Amino acid sequence: MKSEKNEEPTVTITNLSQLQTFIKDRNNWQNVFYMSEIPEVCREYPCILGIDEAGRGPVLGPMVYGTAFIPINEQTLLETLECADSKVLNEEKRDKIFEKICDQSGKIGWGVEIIAPNSICNSMLSRSKYSLNQVSMDAAIGLMRAAVNLNVKIEHVYVDTVGKPEKYQEYLKSIFPKLKITVAKKADSTYPIVSAASICAKVTRDHSLKVWNFTENLEVAEFGSGYPADPHTKQFLTDQFEPVFGYPQLVRFSWSTAENMLKNVAYHIECEEEEEQNTHPPNTMAITSFFKMTRENANNVKTMHEFFTKRNLSREVDF
């Protein structure tokens, strides 16, 4: 159900209901990319393109990067649609503007990448460090590249910054040397096209949380906004943990909020690393040889306990 970054969408989203269905049908543990159908005018006339994110700070849920693009000669439409920084709009207003953007599919294109919580955690906790800033930059680059590959006639790109604007702008220009690029602080409140991208990102994140599918079969009535200061989020983190495996996939394990709480309530487990040996001493057998399948037990394979299957845990090594 997801769109590849260089392809036209296999699903068309024209309203909030379709957005929710699209999100609900995805796997929570995988990143999902969506790009709307490209208006023909965006292929014929020079366009501006904006990029912004939603959900960078929360301990719960995905981070969403959004983009929007429109011909330069049509950009006054963004003011008519009341596009503004999504953070200063309430949820009802954001939803209405998002549907207006969808209604203008003949002039405005948009896209999002939903970056799953466990994808963020795996990046930040990996041995070769992959920072949240780099995750953010790569998402922005992916959206820009998708628009370019789908033949959007981009003239100028506006991006809300991650880190120092000058350094980020120079980095993007090294990848897209033919494009005019402006990276700025608070670009979402300065440039309406970035505001439109911000709204698409924020609405997508809000509805991702509304239709979140707990594969762990949890019954959760409320978990709040996902921000660490939210009382409902704090209560969720207090109630919904497993002492060995920690939290459900909604939670970003790499956040200090979750990490500090687990230090107080979870079991302490130490994993020792074994030195790799390419050869075995003479006249000895590898330990795994004692666990190899024989014809007698090949048809008597034990299934995994539902605790593991519900959390999408799988064996990395078959004995």
Asked if 233 and 225 count as a contact pair (C-beta separation under 8 A), the reply is yes
- The stretches of 266-300 forming alpha helices (DSSP H) are none
Taking the CB of residue 21, how many other CB atoms lie within 10 A of it?
Answer: 15
Q: Cβ contacts of residue 142 below 8 Å, gap of 6+? A: 5, 33, 65, 113
Distances (CA, A) of 14 to 109, 114, 197, 310: 11, 18, 16, 33
Two tokens, residue 174 = 């090294």
Helices (H) and strands (E) in the chain, counts: 12, 6
CA-closest candidate to residue 148, choices 116, 109, 117: 109
Size (the chain), residues:
319
Question: Sign of the CA dihedral 25, 9, 206, 164?
Answer: positive
CA-closest candidate to residue 125, choices 266, 251, 264: 251
Ligand-binding annotation for 95, yes or no, is: no
Beta strands 154-160 and 180-184, pairing class: parallel
Taking the CB of residue 148, how many other CB atoms lie within 10 A of it?
Answer: 17
Ligand-binding annotation for 52, yes or no, is: yes
Phi (first) and psi of residue 249, to 5 degrees? -65, -10
**Residue found by looking up tokens 């995905």 in the block:** 62
Beta strands 63-71 and 47-54, pairing class: antiparallel
Ligand-binding annotation for 53, yes or no, is: yes
Q: Which residues are annotated as a binding site?
A: 52-53, 160
Q: Which residues are annotated as a binding site for a divalent metal cation?
A: 52-53, 160
